[in-house]
Structure 1
């Protein structure tokens, strides 16, 4: 579900801009060549694999007992009982659980990699309030050991965002956690749209208020959003006029290209916002300039505006129980995720943490338990939609992954036990039908970074 577009005065200004806005997809950005930094991701070779006799959460809210999952040619070929597949590798999953892979909609892996030191803190371009021109992928370090840790926690896709110190932090990117990649292009999810990371509230006001510059207040935040999008609409109008033979095109402006990409729908918007009133203000800005918001992130007070989020088709990416660490996070409740879901909203469990991403299944379990204690009837399979289908929707890759539907990418996890138990671990992880992780198996090849650290320790 998307935001209903309203006819406003700026909509005409962005017509014809799509060919000029660089989205980072695999389509041509300009007539003279392909988009820069295009994905070079290639799935690992896979063989037909049949997982038998598991309890299956299909990602759409259904739980299937004693079910089989067939993966073929990198995709889900069938889900059901008593399946057969000649020549397929058979995995007996009796007593185990099978789910779609977890998708983390808010990660900083690669841009804040391990080890966490000043030299690796590469996610916040805190030089001006609007840095829409920067791309998080240009800071991603593929050797971040966090990628392996994430895969071991059942992660098969993640969205890496810049930090939240600016009104416009820059573009985010959806990645496959390819172990052993040497370039970020090898990790980019093919065809996934880039995002624009925006932030409201205390972070940008604190950063720039301390410098005696704008924004220093909430009203400064909103004025900054509005002026930037007004500038982008003017830029788009100049491009359109030039294409129609009326005047010269403007000089290429990477900041304006990103904002115009949001206005024309090529770039999806992910908005860091805690308070209900500030989310409501952000929605008004979206109405004024006729663009869509894919998701509010952190959204500690989403439970207060569940009806508004549902009506607008905006997802809420939330923590299970982080709250109170600053004033705008003070009014959080543990039932937030469950209440958004119960109200018909698109609820997502996200990490925003190199540690939390390893245990997102447990975060969903906490949110489910808190909702049940509040009297809500939440099934295990329903809670799993917060980890796979809904984040895929917010990233606009739900036609590719997030559920175990026929034809979807075979992103599959076999769990040792009920994955909403703290005792469960991911035993095997498949991405595009290829097994990329098996618990207890030696990794081949090991990370260059970790191999070096191991050698140093053993030499002492």
Structure 2
């Protein structure tokens, strides 16, 4: 006969879901203390970007530069539902599609500027709007550029309408050795930075070498004041990051109480974990080599060296280490570390098989990056290097997309990618050529011939309507 006590005990076990009476492992974490993820693996400010609605669109009879080295004469481009559908010599328009005859015109992927400060140093350029550099300590990995981005900066609409820029990375400035996180944005209208954030794009991390950090902080009577001081402060900071990540790795393995969180170290640990990409302001070839050595010492990878005025001297080193160089066409000589620049820099990177691209670092330059590449092509021609237009367009779209790790989503006119498309009214490397229409995710956001799609910020200088494209 089963006692009432035994029946009650069995019922209690069943209700608790514990019919298996085997003892639990002593190492199991208690349910009241669930394991928290490493803080650099999640984004506390996720993108809320939502694509504008577009309509199925077919552009015909155009010269197509597909961004990946391909060219089609008298070609067609079809996109729908925000994605590229087909690129071919001839395409039958689907029912209900808008058909645009682009005879004599050119189509390319939207331009991607890997180095911009729009929103962080917006127009008008007054001290109250200067939010791009937390120049209060040599290393400030705790700051994030997106927290300074002002979405109403008129520079965004100018870059769209004048330059065909559809994606851009906003970086902190270069006063600091470690300037903080960057953010990748789509060039769309939104009330918040989160509304512009490129969906799924990894964060970047801005670093700087050379004259800027040693000048800014040496002038304050503190380290660094020399190039060796620059590297020393970097190395000491990376070593702290290695130890911080080690504590989190141990917690991930063994459980227990999570380590005390450090917001700046979160970013550096994310770099060491390969989840955050390093973008390093660096001019001289010797410093590029020093940074590559330092990255190997601490186990991180540099996605791109920016400015890279002497990148042509170490093109083989960049290629061997899978590192890109983002450079100007002819902006050099304005300080000692930028003195040894040449206008063939980008062309020589291409010849060496390295990953190169054009970038702006300027609210005006971003409006004519296509013309900057035209300068490079001219300089290369005079040097005896004739680079086809279709190859050169990689410097404006696919190569920066690769360096930002978004080339699976944009950067070329490949079916399935975002329909970030520009229709140019002539050869896009000419100073006489302008974007005629610009689509982002298949939505027409700029039309030279439609006053309703000529974007003007509320904060443009002058009277309403002044400066409109005629």
TM-score (norm 2): 0.89
User: C-alpha separation between the residues in 2 aligned to 1:312 and 1:336?
Assistant: 18
Task: Say yes or no: does 1:73 pair with 2:91.
Answer: no
User: C-alpha separation between the residues in 2 aligned to 1:247 and 1:226?
Assistant: 30
Taking only aligned residues, the RMSD between alpha carbons, in angstroms, comes to: 1.8
Over residues 216-265 of structure 1, what are the superposed CA-to-partner deviations in whole Å (9 max), with x where a residue is unaligned? 11001111111111101101111122333476433110110000000000
**Match of residue 165 from structure 1:** 175
User: Are the structure 2 counterparts of residues 280 and 69 from structure 1 closer, same or farther at C-alpha, using a change threshold of 3 Å?
Assistant: same
User: C-alpha separation between the residues in 1 aligned to 2:275 and 2:299?
Assistant: 13
Over residues 34-87 of structure 1, what are the superposed CA-to-partner deviations in whole Å (9 max), with x where a residue is unaligned? x31110000100111000010000101122100000001111100012201222
Which residue of the other structure, out of 147, 155, 171, is the alignment partner of 2:165? 155
**Match of residue 454 from structure 1:** 463
Task: Say yes or no: does 1:320 pair with 2:329.
Answer: yes
Question: Is the CA contact 1:320–1:363 (under 8 Å) kept in the aligned structure 2?
Answer: yes
Which residue of the other structure, out of 66, 80, 83, is the alignment partner of 1:58? 66
- Poorly superposed stretches of 4+, deviation over 6 Å: none
Offset of 1:449 from its aligned partner?
A: 2.3
Which residue of the other structure, out of 117, 138, 142, is the alignment partner of 2:126? 117
User: C-alpha separation between the residues in 1 aligned to 2:453 and 2:353?
Assistant: 44
Secondary structure, aligned partner of 2:60: strand
Which residue of the other structure, out of 19, 23, 31, is the alignment partner of 2:37? 19
User: C-alpha separation between the residues in 2 aligned to 1:66 and 1:455?
Assistant: 40
User: Are the structure 2 counterparts of residues 408 and 126 from structure 1 closer, same or farther at C-alpha, using a change threshold of 3 Å?
Assistant: same
Question: Is the CA contact 2:154–2:460 (under 8 Å) kept in the aligned structure 1?
Answer: no
Matches within 5 A, 1:380-419: 380-419=389-428
Matches within 5 A, 1:145-224: 145-152=154-161, 153-179=163-189, 181-224=190-233
Which residue of the other structure, out of 360, 381, 385, is the alignment partner of 1:351? 360
Secondary structure, aligned partner of 1:79: strand
User: C-alpha separation between the residues in 1 aligned to 2:316 and 2:367?
Assistant: 31
User: C-alpha separation between the residues in 2 aligned to 1:413 and 1:400?
Assistant: 16
Task: Say yes or no: does 1:44 pair with 2:62.
Answer: no
User: Are the structure 2 counterparts of residues 246 and 412 from structure 1 closer, same or farther at C-alpha, using a change threshold of 3 Å?
Assistant: closer
Secondary structure, aligned partner of 2:281: strand
User: C-alpha separation between the residues in 1 aligned to 2:69 and 2:454?
Assistant: 36
User: C-alpha separation between the residues in 2 aligned to 1:336 and 1:439?
Assistant: 34
Offset of 1:267 from its aligned partner?
A: 0.2
Question: Is the CA contact 2:446–2:455 (under 8 Å) kept in the aligned structure 1?
Answer: no
**Match of residue 260 from structure 2:** 251
Over residues 323-358 of structure 1, what are the superposed CA-to-partner deviations in whole Å (9 max), with x where a residue is unaligned? 110000000011001001110011100000000000
Secondary structure, aligned partner of 2:405: coil
Offset of 1:453 from its aligned partner?
A: 5.1
Offset of 1:447 from its aligned partner?
A: 4.9
Count of residue pairs brought into register by the alignment: 431
Matches within 5 A, 1:1-20: 19-20=37-38
Question: Is the CA contact 1:156–1:176 (under 8 Å) kept in the aligned structure 2?
Answer: yes
**Match of residue 92 from structure 2:** 84
User: Are the structure 2 counterparts of residues 277 and 448 from structure 1 closer, same or farther at C-alpha, using a change threshold of 3 Å?
Assistant: closer
